[in-house]
Amino acid sequence: MNAPTKNKNLLNWVAEIEAMCTPNQVVWCDGSAKEYDRLMGEMVESGMAIKLNEEKRPNSYAFNSDPSDVARIESRTYIASVKEEDAGPTNNWTDPVELKKTLTKLYTGCMKGRTMYVIPFSMGPIGSPMAKIGIEISDSPYVVVNMHIMARVSPKVLEVLGDEGEFIPCLHTVGSPLEPGQKDSRWPCAPIEEKYIVHFPEENLIWSYGSGYGGNALLGKKCFALRIASNMARHEGWMAEHMLILRFTNPEGKQFHIAAAFPSACGKTNLAMLQSTVPGWKVETIGDDIAWMKPGEDGRLYAINPEAGFFGVAPGTAKSSNPMALASCRKDAIFTNVVVTDDGDVWWEDMGVECKGGTDWHNNPWKSGMKDGEGNTIKGAHPNSRFTARAALCPVLCPDWEDPAGVPIDIFVFGGKRANTIPLIHEAFNFEQGVYMGATASSEPTAAALDLGNVSLRFDPFAMTPFIGYHAGDYMQHWFDMGETLGDKAPRCFYVNWFRKTDDGKWLWPGYGENSRVLKWMCDRVEGKVDAVETPIGLMPKDGDLTLDGLDISAEDWAELMKVDTHLFKTTLSNAREYLAKFGDKLPAKMVEQMDALEARLG
Ligand code: OXD
Ligand code: MN
């Protein structure tokens, strides 16, 4: 096929990769429905894809991966910066020269017997001043169809790129060359110890080898839009964050834009698509995973969602927890590692419906309640099984979610999963304390940590631990620097904990749609409609300002939910000091100031 571009750098790179990987053929992708249908047809033919029942789930397909290839693999993910200290303690580092030698050996001939797809994509609305162009080369047709949904794949990307434009080269292979006559496996990939997901930050280059799954293979997402972009952002004065973006509109039509960072399993996608229970207030979704944010001409911080779809965790997605996510994958969707029911639809654990029979993610016959030889329930879907859904199908998507200028962020929300210590909501006194809150966001693995003596906290700064493409201490300093740039136009910062429990393990807060009450209090604060109570940890709602009308929460439970136990807080602070000590002399002085000030306030 003739290359649809005259961009020399791109043509040279594609020629170089073709020579190294020796595919059967090179196909330039155009992102069209025709291309999507053709590839799906080929994958159904080869047995890789299952076409779902057209009546139940129109234009949708299911895939089952190899059991060794089901999630991001942090132990095989590298930041190969020239200097080790630039990768910092939260990343795996390997010398880029050595790594390139190892990988070049693996890449040589790795696409034998396969097609090499060249996928031009834009992260962010094509042509937006905040968007960036990437080119993914991959030998996986599964990657191509997922990229169609998750990014903007179109010939327009090459038009915007032009003859001289710059792009992020993203090289991917499943690492499973085919000898002549060799039958392909259903989900080709390389063994774990041969998988590599590598970022070269000085070259803005991504090399991924051996995995076909999610964030390891759809390189626009975690690799580009977070790891590489966070490093670019720090040099260029913007931010690439692991945050959802939503719009909350009050009954008078005033809009507030909220960006929120939560570690995994804290309901980020649910919050992004929340159904407000506050009368007259409405939530609309802009993004569920990544925010790119840049100061605008008016000095405020503007955000875009660089993605075009949702790559959501399937188990737990139900009518009760997130009807909007379910609706987003009602058609035109891809499902990976779920149950395919006997009537050609999909099912997963905690979907809120029974599965009478189907095929599990291992391709074995399956039905609800099945047990293994030892009496353990066999799960039908993998816990990290996913739906790939088009954002455009989300019923509560903001109509202007693709505004190239982005939306002005009013509020940052941080949080974690804590059974105790952290109240439902508190606000930072100022942006710098907000940075401390984000940097020390923590969850405890189980409610067993109620036992004070053994609190084992997992810190996950800004929910970015696996995604900061450089030294995490420098990253924290970048947050402080952004605060200085934004000055009094910086978003207000809040910390929430939806997960507080009583001593006997009962949830104190109903969560889900009721979280809108907490968001409303934040908006009222931003508007100056309500005062707050000053406590040692920050600002908290005055009695009655966060309305509980219609909720069955006793006065004692409310007091417990909002309690600031200074003794417990001191334990969290000392855990935070211990955690942050590993950043050594890269830990910003301002972070130490924040910790000292908090300690003094706690008395
Ligand atoms: C994701 C993740 O898949 O954060 O979004 O791991
Ligand atoms: Mn994520």
Distance 305 CA to ligand 1 centre (A): 15
Whole-number pLDDT of residue 2: 84
Residues 291 and 345 placed together within one structural domain of the fold:
no
Largest CA distance in the chain: 74
Same-domain check for residues 231 and 106 = yes
The helix/strand/coil state of 367 is coil
From CA 366, how far away is CA 370, in angstroms rounded?
7
Q: Is the pLDDT of residue 446 over 70?
A: no
Of all residues in the chain, what percent are helix, strand and coil, respectively (each to 5)? 35, 20, 45
Per-residue confidence (pLDDT) for residue 264, from 0 to 100? 79
Domain boundary among 366, 394, 422: 394
CA 45 to each of CA 23, 49, 189, 262: distance values in angstroms, whole numbers, following the listed order: 20, 8, 19, 40
Q: Give pLDDT, residue 216.
A: 97
In ligand 1, the atom with minimum distance to the C-alpha of 463 is 4
Q: What is the mean pLDDT of the chain?
A: 96
Whole-number Cα distances in Å, 343 to 33, 53, 273, 350, 383: 26, 7, 29, 19, 22
Residue 593 has pLDDT above 50, yes or no: yes
- 569 occurs within a structural domain: yes
Residue 550 is assigned to a structural domain of this protein: yes
Q: Are 427 and 525 in contact (CB under 8 A)?
A: yes
Q: Does some domain include residue 105?
A: yes
Instruction: Verify that 349 and 367 share a domain, yes or no.
Output: yes
| CATH code assigned at 59 | 2.170.8.10
Catalytic residues: 266
The Å distance, Cα 219 to ligand 2 centre, comes to 13
85 and 148, same domain (yes or no): yes
Percent of the chain having pLDDT more than 70?
Answer: 98
Span 449-504, pLDDT tens digits: 344 444 578 999 999 999 999 999 999 999 999 999 999 999 999 999 999 999 89
Q: How far is the CA of 273 from the centre of ligand 2 (A)?
A: 15
Q: Is residue 421 part of a domain?
A: yes
Residue minimizing CA distance to atom 2 of ligand 1: 264
- pLDDT, one tens digit per residue, over 157-212 is 999 999 999 999 999 999 999 999 999 999 999 999 999 999 999 999 999 999 99
* Nearest-CA residue for atom 4 of ligand 1: 264
432 and 419 share a domain?
Answer: yes
Weakest mean pLDDT among 72-76, 206-210, 277-281, 441-445? 441-445
Judge contact between 269 and 244, C-beta under 8 A.
yes
**Closest residue by CA, ligand 1 atom 5:** 289
What's the confidence (pLDDT) of residue 452? 41
Q: What's at 193, amino acid-wise?
A: E
Express each pLDDT in 231-290 by its tens digit. 999 999 999 999 999 999 999 999 999 999 998 778 899 999 999 999 999 999 999 999
Residue 542: per-residue pLDDT? 97
Predicted confidence (pLDDT) at residue 399 exceeds the cutoff of 80: yes
* Residue 36 falls inside a structural domain: no
Closest ligand 1 atom to 72 CA: 6
Residue 158 CA to ligand 2 centre (angstroms): 28
Q: How far apart are CA 93 and CA 505, in angstroms?
A: 41
286 and 145 inside one domain:
no
Distance CA 301, CA 129 (A): 14
Given 370, 394, 418, which residue is the final one in a domain? 394
Q: In testing the pocket of ligand 1, which one of 216, 222, 262 has its CB within 8 Å of the most ligand atoms?
A: 222
- 118 shares its domain with 210: yes
Which ligand sits closest to the CA of 241? 2
Ligand 1 atom nearest to 242, measured from its CA: 4
Residue 584 lies in a domain: yes
Considering the domain architecture, whether residues 339 and 221 belong to the same structural domain is answered as no
- CATH of residue 532: 3.90.228.20
* Average pLDDT, integer, range 409-413: 98
Residue 516 lies in a domain: yes
Helix (H) or strand (E) holding 132: strand 132-138
**Helix or strand or coil: residue 401?**
coil
pLDDT in tens, 521-574: 999 999 999 999 999 999 999 999 999 999 999 999 999 999 999 999 999 999
The per-residue pLDDT for range 105-160, each reduced to its tens digit, is 999 999 999 999 999 999 999 989 999 999 999 999 999 999 999 999 999 999 99
What is the enclosing helix (H) or strand (E) of 376?
none
Q: How confident is the model at residue 1, as a pLDDT? A: 63
Nearest to 141 by CA among 275, 4, 66, 42: 42
**Ligand 2 centroid vs 386 CA: distance in angstroms?**
12
- Nearest CA to 274 out of 500, 23, 520, 467 is that of 520
Torsion of CA 36, 37, 43, 45, to 10 degrees: -170
pLDDT value at 412 more than 60: yes
Residues 223 and 258 in one domain: no
Residue 18: give its domain's CATH number: 3.40.449.10
Q: Are residues 314 and 412 in the same domain?
A: no
Work out the pLDDT band at 416, boundaries 50, 70, 90: very high
Residue 332 CA: distances (Å) to CA of 34, 61, 124, 148, 179: 13, 8, 21, 11, 34
Pocket of ligand 1 (CB under 6 A): 72, 215, 264, 289, 311
Do both 301 and 334 map to the same domain? no
Count of structural domains within the chain: 3
Mean pLDDT score, 67-90: 96
- pLDDT > 80? residue 448: no
Residue finishing a domain among 236, 259, 281: 236
User: Does an H or E element contain 450, and which?
Assistant: none
Which helix (H) or strand (E) segment holds residue 125: the answer is none
**Residue 326 lies in domain:** 51-63+309-394
Question: pLDDT value at position 266?
Answer: 86
Q: Is residue 35 part of a domain?
A: no
Do residue 250 and residue 223 come from a single domain? no
